[in-house]
């Protein structure tokens, strides 16, 4: 395998020399993650968890970014980072349980389902190599499979396992595709929403109509590529026809990503570079870990170089196209209760507010800050208290969930004592050095942007009182906040 040579050791198969460590940082591995998510969504337990508890319906790209980030942490050169991420995933999955529409129970910590997740990543990686024209010899394929077995063992040491040999794996994979996968709602949500909500690149962020037109053309093509790469029995079960020409398009997509990986500078084809550029919160900034006067890391230089280029192109585009209509006075400061409910509170996109929506907010914060177990438990407990308070104040019909109408009728109850407690806990877990202010580094860890990119952000630090005030103002629906919108409301 020419593009990702195996160099890991038996003692540490997920170490810095592993194939997975290299592959998960290449842009083309995004093809793997996207295809694998479709295969996972067809599993009845995973599909039910995605529909009822995940943000994939309303915020598919945020969910995909977090998936990629988690995979990279799981193969980090530092074993402590890998162990920490595995523990975080176990806590996250243990909180996701319920029943599907047919009354069947699901549990995100189910060992068989977790084994299938890793199986889809392995098979999709092999498929990526095959469709890219790469040959995997026997020892290389064995090495790659061993790394994925170690990946699963790290995540679920006492539970599910992949078959011991590759020959047995392919029989297992075919059996699951033929006998276990279903035509779930989650599959169609992923295919319908993922490429329909791709965030605009920096060049087009000020031209949403232009980006929407381009996305309307490219989105169906990207979906067709994913569909064409799926196993034929699954496509038939899902009722997904392979359109003429899509196989050629699929091969071209895989071959071009491999070619880009081989010929372009490595910093340009890093997956985190591309995902960061597509993150609406992205803004160029200096890395606080780099001493003053020292050169910035290659990845940061690449991001800033790309940003300078697209800024020049964006200036030209603004000269050639008319400005969008200016919002009416007051529109930027307030949003209707209905919009706030649908854009911020309804994280799972099912039209109601219930515990999975607030748990999704807590998960997003915990993922960004990479919280340890004590801080994560405090955060989830604070959100759970808020949910109980909301039920008491807003759930007028007692059905265990809150409708947009119930929220709008009593939105003032949002800023109760439990929400204040969330703000206090969020400040505490963000203030990692316990100096009672949020500095630039801590702010960037939470919001993925710098102070000077938050309108009205003020100086280079936030006191506890100001941090709480801003959080309450946003969560009570009284004021817009670009950084909180990027965290909770954008795709």
Tell me the per-residue pLDDT of 154-190, one tens digit each, with 9 for 90 and over: 998 887 789 999 999 999 999 999 999 999 999 998 9
Our count of domains for the chain comes to 2
Q: What angle do CA 354, 355, 360 make, to 5 degrees?
A: 110
Measured CA to CA, the distance from residue 186 to residue 60 in angstroms comes to: 12
Residue 167 lies in a domain: yes
CATH number for the domain harbouring residue 384? 1.10.238.10
**Lowest-confidence region among 337-346, 434-443, 477-486:** 477-486
Measured CA to CA, the distance from residue 63 to residue 53 in angstroms comes to: 12
Question: Which of 233, 263, 293 is the last residue before a domain boundary?
Answer: 263
- Residue 258 and residue 121 share a domain: yes
Q: What is the mean pLDDT of residues 299-310?
A: 51
Highest-scoring range by mean pLDDT, 75-79, 393-397, 481-485: 75-79
Residue 331 lies in a domain: no
- Residue 161 and residue 60 share a domain: yes
Residue 202 lies in a domain: yes
At 198-245, the pLDDT tens digits run: 887 777 778 888 888 888 888 899 999 999 999 999 999 999 988 888
> Can you read off the two tokens belonging to residue 329?
């006075």
103 burial level (CB within 10 Å; 0-12, 13-18, 19+): exposed
Residue 11's pLDDT is 60
What percentage of residues in the chain have a pLDDT greater than 70?
83
Direct distance between the N- and C-terminal alpha carbons of the chain, in angstroms, rounded to an integer: 35
**Lowest-confidence region among 83-92, 229-238, 338-347, 384-393:** 338-347
Residue 413's pLDDT is 58
Domain around 118: 19-263
Measured CA to CA, the distance from residue 325 to residue 206 in angstroms comes to: 11
Q: What is the mean pLDDT of residues 318-324?
A: 44
Q: What rounded mean pLDDT belongs to the chain?
A: 83
Residue 196 lies in a domain: yes
Residue 142's pLDDT is 96
Region of residue 175 (phi > 0: left; psi between -120 and 50: alpha; otherwise: beta): alpha
Q: What is the mean pLDDT of residues 243-265?
A: 91
Residue 321 lies in a domain: no
Highest-scoring range by mean pLDDT, 4-8, 31-35, 199-203, 339-343: 31-35
Q: With bands split at pLDDT 50, 70 and 90, how would you rate the model's confidence at 64?
A: confident
List of residues 6+ apart from 322 with CB closer than 8 A? none
Residue 322's pLDDT is 45
Question: Which of 248, 263, 278 is the last residue before a domain boundary?
Answer: 263
Residue 59's closest CA among 215, 280, 270? 280
pLDDT at 139 over 70: yes
- Residue 356 and residue 237 share a domain: no
pLDDT at 91 over 50: yes
Highest-scoring range by mean pLDDT, 13-27, 77-91, 300-314, 397-411: 77-91
- Residue 354 and residue 218 share a domain: no
Dihedral sign for Cα 134, 135, 140, 141, please.
positive
Residue 290 lies in a domain: no
- Residue 105 and residue 23 share a domain: yes
Residue 384 lies in a domain: yes
Q: With bands split at pLDDT 50, 70 and 90, how would you rate the model's confidence at 274?
A: confident
Q: With bands split at pLDDT 50, 70 and 90, how would you rate the model's confidence at 116?
A: very high
Residue 378 lies in a domain: yes
Question: Which of 263, 288, 321 is the last residue before a domain boundary?
Answer: 263
């Amino acid at each position: 395998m020419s593009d990702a040579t195996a160099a890991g050791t038996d003692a540490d198969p997920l170490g810095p020399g592993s194939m997975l460590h290299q592959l998960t940082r290449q842009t083309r591995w995004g093809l793997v993650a996207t295809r694998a998510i479709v295969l996972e969504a067809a599993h009845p337990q995973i599909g039910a968890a995605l529909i009822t508890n995940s943000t994939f319906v309303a915020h598919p790209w945020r969910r995909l970014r977090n998936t990629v980030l988690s995979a990279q942490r799981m193969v980090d050169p530092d074993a402590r980072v890998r162990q920490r991420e595995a523990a975080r995933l176990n806590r996250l999955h243990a909180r996701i349980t319920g029943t599907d529409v047919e009354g069947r129970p699901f549990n995100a910590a189910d060992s068989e389902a977790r084994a299938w997740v890793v199986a889809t990543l392995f098979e999709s990686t092999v498929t990526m190599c095959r469709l890219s024209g790469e040959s995997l010899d026997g020892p290389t394929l064995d090495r790659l499979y061993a790394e994925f077995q170690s990946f699963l063992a790290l995540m679920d040491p006492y539970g599910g396992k992949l078959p011991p040999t590759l020959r047995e794996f392919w029989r297992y994979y075919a059996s699951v595709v033929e006998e276990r996968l279903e035509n779930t709602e989650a599959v169609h949500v992923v295919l319908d929403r993922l490429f329909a909500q791709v965030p605009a690149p920096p060049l087009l962020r000020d031209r949403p109509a232009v980006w929407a037109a381009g996305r309307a053309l490219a989105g169906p093509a990207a979906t067709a590529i994913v569909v064409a790469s799926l196993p034929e029995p699954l496509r038939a079960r899902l009722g997904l026809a392979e359109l003429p020409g899509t196989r050629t398009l699929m091969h071209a997509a895989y071959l071009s990503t491999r070619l880009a990986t081989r010929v372009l500078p490595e910093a340009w084809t890093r997956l985190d570079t591309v995902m960061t550029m597509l993150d609406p919160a992205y803004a160029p900034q200096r890395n606080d870990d780099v001493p003053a006067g020292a050169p910035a890391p290659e990845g940061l230089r690449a991001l800033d170089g790309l940003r300078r280029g697209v800024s020049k192109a964006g200036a030209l585009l603004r000269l050639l196209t008319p400005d969008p209509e200016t919002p009416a006075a007051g529109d930027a400061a307030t949003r209707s209760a209905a919009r706030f409910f649908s854009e911020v509170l309804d994280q799972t996109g099912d039209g109601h507010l219930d515990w999975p929506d607030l748990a999704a907010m807590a998960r997003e914060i915990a993922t960004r800050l990479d919280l340890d177990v004590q801080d994560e438990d405090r955060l989830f407990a604070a959100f759970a208290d808020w949910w109980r308070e909301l039920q008491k104040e807003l759930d007028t019909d007692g059905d265990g969930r809150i409708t947009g109408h119930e929220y709008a009728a009593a939105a003032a109850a949002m800023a109760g004592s439990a929400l204040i407690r969330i703000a206090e806990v969020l400040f505490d877990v963000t203030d990692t050095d316990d100096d009672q202010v949020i500095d630039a580094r801590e702010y960037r860890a939470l919001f993925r942007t710098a102070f000077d990119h938050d309108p009205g952000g003020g100086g280079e630090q936030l006191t506890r009182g100001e941090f709480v005030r801003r959080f309450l103002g946003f969560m009570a629906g009284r004021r817009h906040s670009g950084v909180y919108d990027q965290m909770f409301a954008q795709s």
